[in-house]
Structure 1
Amino acid sequence: MLSMSHLSGRRIAAAVAALVTLAGPLALTGGADAAPMPAQAAAALPSGWTPRPATYPGTVVKANVAIPMSDGLSLQGDLVLPAKADGTAASGKFPVVVEITAYNKTVIAGGGGGLGGADLSYLVKRGYAFLIVDARGTGTSPGTWQVFGEREQKDAGEAVTWAAKQSWSDGTVGMVGPSYMGISQLFAAGNQPQGLKAIFPQVPGADVYRDIVASGGQLDVGFMPLWLGLVNLTGLMPTGTPDLTALSTILEHLAGSGSTSLQLALDGVLGGEKAYDGPWYRERSTLLQSVPKIQVPTFLIGGEYDLFQRGTPMIFQALQERGVPVKMILGPWNHLQGSSGADVVKAGYGTIAELQLRWFDHYVRGVADPALDSDIPDFTYYELGSGSWVKRNGYLDGQSATSYQLSGSALPTLQKGSLTTGPAQAGTAVVPPLPVSGLCTRSSSQWTAGVSSVLLGETPCDTDNRLNDLAGAVYETAPLSDDLRMLGPINVHLNASSATGDGMLSVHVSRVAPDGRVDRLTGGWQVISLAELDEARSTKIDGQIVQPWHPFTKASQRTLQPGEIAPVDVEVFPTGAVIRKGDRLRISVGAFDVPHLAPHLGVLTSAASVITLHTSPSNPSRIVLPTVSGTGATAGGGTTAAGIGGAVTDITGQLAGGAGLSLPGLGGLLPAGTDPTYDATTAAADALARTESADTTAAPATQPVSATRAVATQPWLLGGIGLFVLLLTTTWVRARKVT
């Protein structure tokens, strides 16, 4: 039997391995392709499209290729070419696939090859060259890390242009990669470099401040320290044979990116410039800087529990409105799962590798594919609550605004208010600032990028929000008489006051099953003093705001008078879901979302305040949903994990769905008879059975993963956790000294 310490060690190794997947889809030396699937698998696509077979038996790597930039600095890249049976590079010119990473190309290839999505050898064996490049100031590339700054954006375009002009290139280029690498694609495409024909970003961000750094004006303390530590750690790893150049690069990174990370963290924690939106963030916003200039076909992968849950659909919407060929698959994935792409196959269009092959064959190589648009609609999403994949022509396309008024009084653990389409009853609700709110919710997994799920597996907190909701004010509908479908962002308009004139609001939107289980669909956050609303930039449906836009600038900050009642619009991040007939729609309002968000030190005392919510005709509070009619068209029946043309092994998807600790479900902890908010009336109403199937979002069972053992043998990877802790501790100590 395995000891608990051994299991913990394996989970830590798996978590660090999962973090490395943020570096993107990379396997420089892929093995032979798996045997093809039986013929019936191809029937998942109406046209019967199947991927073409490999034309080369292997791949060959040329490491540390110098890629000169216009300012004289040379980035470092690894070039992968198709290989003949004898292992030598095949002759000829090839279309090129480029990936730009901040996580060290050499470290990823050595310790985590294949962990992040599609195995790129799949494309190389089908006649593509692959070039992975370390961004300036990261990995093996010299210079100072720009954190997506203007120079780094220019580098991305210049790297593509360089690739298009090489002797092994046919002059055409595509780009791949998740997360950081997906964002790099958008910046590169915005520069419109020579030769770039198409991109394939997975889980990219649109607005770094609102998407992740400071959602609702509070600072992200869950993912950002992990991310900064990951970039710094991989930049300090030895790469190959040590020499003076490598040592010089490591020392340069230690002084450069380490200092940059510490300054960013310290400035934010102390309430400096980086705690507010401004020029620094606007320069790094793809939605402002690059998306308006992108012209090449773009295939997006997004996650409903992703770090960029908010931003990726906005990128799709902006590109489609401009007429750029764009498609998107939105699944029930956290950041690691979306970066992996392992479950993209469940949408019914093939594996991530097969989709990339089809996209690039058509748009990069110029191969005719008349069935592409009929096989794959522009927008496909997984509908939470039904387990169906729904296909649409667009994202915000034909929705109606549906409002429910908050009505009556609510008291944590003791009394629920109601959501009604009729007149609201006057009432109040007290929201205490409890710094444990958020711990037992799906938010914990989402805002650690899925790392907590790797360590713990799926816990009851991921599937039942009841325990968390006891700490806040709860409002819910009666059992619905019809299905309620929604797709898009949500606005929760509250009238609030506080003892200090400030405070933090954390809103969860959930569906409640007849047995009392609370399935959290999405959430939103807002600092009261930063609630100034810009209606002109807010998104409206039927004249009602569904996505409020707040400036989040220092100049827009306004502290209320103690007890002053003011409107606060909370942007709740988008979802695609159905509340079934017989289920209830619920919102719960708390004051913290731990370990996701925390106020900076400048407002810590005032923000951690008791808040009072007000519901009355003179102070109306409501939730506005973007609802869709009908049942939607399902996107096929899905294919097996092996895809259409054959299995493409992916490790992260297995890790992210890992077996967890054996814990009792919340149904056992909080049965109907003991849940203080589950009164007799609710229990009687919930006896009404649902008429349609329940959600099927359970993670797949884990399988033995050899790469986990491989990563566990790399001591420097395990040391990454220590670096994360060191970064946090140093920031806290310095903050204490300053204050």
Structure 2
Amino acid sequence: MQHPARRPSSTSRRLTRGRLTRRLTGPNGRLVSLVAGVALAASTAITTATAAPATATATSTAAPGPGQASVATDPAGRAPVRDGWTARPATYPGSVKQTDLAIPMSDGTVLRGDLELPAGADGEPAAGRFPVLVTITAYNKSAVGAALGGGDYLVRRGYASLNVDARGTGSSEGTWDAFGEREQLDGKEVVEWAASRARSWSNGRVGMRGPSYMGINQLFTAALHPKGLQAIFPQVPAGDVYRDVVASGGQVDVGFIPLWMGLVTTTGVIPPAVTATDPASGIEALLSHVFGAATFTAPLLLDAVLGGDAAHDGPFYRTRSPLEVIDEVDVPTFLVGGQQDLFQRGTPLLFEALQERGVPTRLVVGPWNHLEGSMGTDIDQVGHGDLSELQLRWFDRWLRDAQDSKLGRIAPVNVYENGSGTWRTQREWISRDASARSYRLSGAATTGARHGVLTTGTPAPGTATVLPLPVSGLCTRSASQWTAGIPATLAGQLPCFQDNALNDRTGIVYETAPLARAVRFSGPVNARLYASSPTGGGMLSVSISDVSPSGRVTRLSGGWQLLAQRALDRRRTRFLDGEVLQPYHPFTRASRAPAPGKVVPVDVEVFPTAARIRPGHRLRIAVQAFDVPHLLPTLPDLPGSLTPITLHASADHPSRLTIPFLAGGRG
């Protein structure tokens, strides 16, 4: 096998959203919403997962004081988790926070961090040195801090926690340059600052944790081998930012990227809290943040929309993609991913690269969107503890040399299987028992009316016209996924989030007959579609679904591909049994090759998932020309995107869907 370079039941979903809602509102019933409405509420939820990923139990918190705050008592312990491990009780009764510590970088820029330390019953910092857990965030630690509530679960078990504003954000000086080389170096220098014996509270051993931006930052930091870094725990991190989220299939993301960049910009222009104690630093930070919004954020978005360099893959995105440096990461790494996450594609690729080199690593992939994966929602159902307990186990092992005889019971890969509602374990991301099974598109199909057939037998020839309807995707799981899961959090019971049938009527559908035997698969999926368009342009938006006997359509995953960007880099493409399983497209200007009127093979990478299609159910592929509000064409591509696309199915044009099929028992 070649490798690319570097949904649960409705009852379960209701339970998940109930727990998520409780965590978003917090133990005191306060809705986590601070600055910019829904967008910042999402940020706060993500950061809450980082700074206080504890079990959902109440804590008592003292009123903050200057420089020191958040003294909290620890809740009672929990029963043993299913693998027999029991969390050790809190060592200290509370925690205490010191805000806006100055952390100087080698170029003279000062970053700011909030430090939380174990505290005695009197609220004073406990004596001694502790292993340090570092998080670097772009979401303004001061803005979200008001929503964090009680002290940190791990701090009360003998860890120091350092939460730092990234350069050009929050209270830190400098200009924001998301994941640029200077920011990557900042991560190394922050860790080494925290590990220094000059810090009276540090024993020199450091771990890193946090989701999303904070998870990506961990990988870049680890790749630079800072002194003292012992282990990391990235949740929902990107692997390849261009292919994962910026321009899936070559078309620019307009759902998440503007929301995210606007969020960082909005929190960046809030007057830094440090202004009260260090006016010069605070004013300098604020002015540099405003400058960064004008010179980095706005020009980047505009260039992408206009079809400039930002719309194509290249050095800018390579510098910011952890897969480009993952071969330098050698510290133990615990990864959490989601099947409806923004980084659904990239997180498993990071795991594979680490496992291949023998780095101690684990992967948990749940039925989660970005918010749920960031919060570790229902991760205890895997059987090894909730998020705080998993982090305790991981960091105790690698930062405290604790012997956890049960840690080996956590399989390398733990993946939720849609359809069966069970968690399955594997030794590799793509099971060595997987084989390529292809379903041919057969016969003709008509938008909203006549379905074609998916078959493993001999297909009938036929064509189908995919109409350019810019409403496709508007109210779907895809729409929620690519706005970070915010719509599902606010309105998760909308019928269109649960059933894709209405949306599928805006495109072309092919599906199997009711299955006589269950079909299981796990991993990425490829749709090779022979297509033509009058302009040689347009996009194929593909979804695969499980169709129940009642007709309910449960979307499992999706993929997207511009016809003009169909060039395939075979050296970096994953094959299984000679079939393309995970294509790799260059997405450069040079790789653009429109072929007006010609029938061309287009490999559409359908992002990875795991599913069991039960007997009596059908496997479906739906093909559309838009996926809004997720993706929109650049202005130069817009005219070519408004013409119909013809799909071809015949012996000469064998359009097909290929899955990593798992026979029999566990994969």
TM-score, length of structure 2 as denominator length: 0.90
Residue 566 of structure 1 is matched in structure 2 by: 600
Give, as a single letter, the amino acid of the residue that structure 2 aligns with 1:502. Answer: G
Residue 80 of structure 2 is matched in structure 1 by: 42
Q: What is the alpha-carbon distance in structure 2 between the residues aligned to residue 279 and residue 122 of structure 1?
A: 40
Residue 729 of structure 1 is matched in structure 2 by: none
| Change beyond 3 A, Cα 1:22–1:514 | same
2:545 counterpart of 1:510: yes
SS state at 2:396 partner: helix
Q: Which runs of 4+ in 1 moved over 4 A?
A: 8-15
Residue 5 of structure 2 is matched in structure 1 by: none
| Change beyond 3 A, Cα 1:120–1:497 | farther
- Contact map agreement 1:504 1:608 (CA 8 A) in 2: no
Q: What is the alpha-carbon distance in structure 2 between the residues aligned to residue 531 and residue 200 of structure 1?
A: 35
Q: What is the alpha-carbon distance in structure 2 between the residues aligned to residue 14 and residue 272 of structure 1?
A: 30
Q: What is the alpha-carbon distance in structure 2 between the residues aligned to residue 600 and residue 421 of structure 1?
A: 37
- Contact map agreement 1:15 1:455 (CA 8 A) in 2: no
Residue 97 of structure 2 is matched in structure 1 by: 61
2:105 counterpart of 1:80: no
Residue 344 of structure 1 is matched in structure 2 by: 379
1:448-506 Cα distance to aligned partner (Å, 9 max, x none): 10111233232111111110111111000011111111110000000000011111110
Q: Please show how residues 667-678 of structure 1 align to structure 2 within 5 Å.
A: none
Match of 1:285 among 321, 330, 352: 321
- Contact map agreement 1:29 1:121 (CA 8 A) in 2: no
Instruction: Say which structure, 1 or 2, has more relative contact order (CA 8 Å, 6+ apart).
Output: 1
1:600-653 Cα distance to aligned partner (Å, 9 max, x none): 1111101222000000000110000011223428xxxxxxxxxxxxxxxxxxxx
SS state at 1:333 partner: strand
Match of 2:194 among 151, 160, 163: 163
Residue 164 of structure 2 is matched in structure 1 by: 133
Match of 1:362 among 382, 385, 397: 397
Residue 15 of structure 2 is matched in structure 1 by: none
Q: Please show how residues 83-102 of structure 1 align to structure 2 within 5 Å.
A: 83-102=119-138
Give, as a single letter, the amino acid of the residue that structure 2 aligns with 1:308. Answer: F
SS state at 2:90 partner: coil
SS state at 1:146 partner: coil
Give, as a single letter, the amino acid of the residue that structure 1 aligns with 2:114. Answer: D
1:332-353 Cα distance to aligned partner (Å, 9 max, x none): 1100111111321121111100
The alpha carbon displacement at 1:370 in A equals: 2.5
2:420 counterpart of 1:386: yes
Q: What is the alpha-carbon distance in structure 2 between the residues aligned to residue 299 and residue 426 of structure 1?
A: 48
Match of 1:25 among 35, 38, 50: 50
Q: What is the alpha-carbon distance in structure 2 between the residues aligned to residue 29 and residue 51 of structure 1?
A: 23
2:293 counterpart of 1:261: no
Residue 57 of structure 2 is matched in structure 1 by: none
SS state at 2:368 partner: coil
Q: Please show how residues 432-511 of structure 1 align to structure 2 within 5 Å.
A: 432-511=467-546
The alpha carbon displacement at 1:101 in A equals: 0.4
Residue 614 of structure 2 is matched in structure 1 by: 580
Match of 2:465 among 426, 430, 433: 430
Q: What is the alpha-carbon distance in structure 1 between the residues aligned to residue 337 and residue 418 of structure 2?
A: 14
The alpha carbon displacement at 1:49 in A equals: 1.3
2:228 counterpart of 1:195: yes
Residue 692 of structure 1 is matched in structure 2 by: none
2:288 counterpart of 1:247: no
Q: What is the alpha-carbon distance in structure 1 between the residues aligned to residue 42 and residue 309 of structure 2?
A: 32
Match of 2:87 among 25, 47, 51: 51
The alpha carbon displacement at 1:239 in A equals: 3.5
Runs of 5+ consecutive residues of structure 1 not aligned to the other structure: 1-7, 634-739
Residue 362 of structure 2 is matched in structure 1 by: 327
Q: What is the alpha-carbon distance in structure 1 between the residues aligned to residue 315 and residue 272 of structure 2?
A: 35
Q: CA RMSD in A?
A: 1.8
Q: What is the alpha-carbon distance in structure 1 between the residues aligned to residue 126 and residue 81 of structure 2?
A: 34
Residue 693 of structure 1 is matched in structure 2 by: none
Runs of 5+ consecutive residues of structure 2 not aligned to the other structure: 1-30, 53-68
The alpha carbon displacement at 1:34 in A equals: 2.6
2:269 counterpart of 1:236: yes
- Contact map agreement 2:94 2:151 (CA 8 A) in 1: no
Match of 2:253 among 220, 229, 250: 220
SS state at 2:527 partner: strand
| Change beyond 3 A, Cα 1:329–1:533 | same
SS state at 1:413 partner: coil
Give, as a single letter, the amino acid of the residue that structure 2 aligns with 1:184. Answer: N
2:545 counterpart of 1:532: no
1:224-272 Cα distance to aligned partner (Å, 9 max, x none): 1110111011111134354343223112101113431101100000000
Q: What is the alpha-carbon distance in structure 1 between the residues aligned to residue 532 and residue 39 of structure 2?
A: 41
Give, as a single letter, the amino acid of the residue that structure 1 aligns with 2:185. Answer: K
SS state at 2:186 partner: helix
Q: What is the alpha-carbon distance in structure 1 between the residues aligned to residue 488 and residue 312 of structure 2?
A: 30
1:630-689 Cα distance to aligned partner (Å, 9 max, x none): 3428xxxxxxxxxxxxxxxxxxxxxxxxxxxxxxxxxxxxxxxxxxxxxxxxxxxxxxxx
- Contact map agreement 1:497 1:612 (CA 8 A) in 2: yes
Q: What is the alpha-carbon distance in structure 2 between the residues aligned to residue 33 and residue 459 of structure 1?
A: 38
| Change beyond 3 A, Cα 1:394–1:99 | same
Residue 625 of structure 2 is matched in structure 1 by: 591
Give, as a single letter, the amino acid of the residue that structure 1 aligns with 2:503. Answer: N
Give, as a single letter, the amino acid of the residue that structure 1 aligns with 2:335. Answer: L
- Contact map agreement 1:25 1:120 (CA 8 A) in 2: no
Q: What is the alpha-carbon distance in structure 2 between the residues aligned to residue 138 and residue 104 of structure 1?
A: 6
Q: What is the alpha-carbon distance in structure 2 between the residues aligned to residue 76 and residue 176 of structure 1?
A: 18
Residue 544 of structure 1 is matched in structure 2 by: 579
Q: What is the alpha-carbon distance in structure 2 between the residues aligned to residue 354 and residue 346 of structure 1?
A: 13
1:683-730 Cα distance to aligned partner (Å, 9 max, x none): xxxxxxxxxxxxxxxxxxxxxxxxxxxxxxxxxxxxxxxxxxxxxxxx
SS state at 1:122 partner: coil
SS state at 2:51 partner: coil
SS state at 1:82 partner: strand
After alignment, is 525-534 or 160-169 more displaced? 160-169
- Contact map agreement 2:242 2:313 (CA 8 A) in 1: yes
SS state at 2:116 partner: strand
Q: What is the alpha-carbon distance in structure 2 between the residues aligned to residue 14 and residue 261 of structure 1?
A: 20
SS state at 1:332 partner: strand
Q: What is the alpha-carbon distance in structure 1 between the residues aligned to residue 153 and residue 361 of structure 2?
A: 23
The alpha carbon displacement at 1:9 in A equals: 13
Give, as a single letter, the amino acid of the residue that structure 2 aligns with 1:548. Answer: P
Overall identity of the aligned pairs, in %: 55
SS state at 1:486 partner: strand
Give, as a single letter, the amino acid of the residue that structure 2 aligns with 1:369. Answer: D
- Contact map agreement 2:39 2:259 (CA 8 A) in 1: no
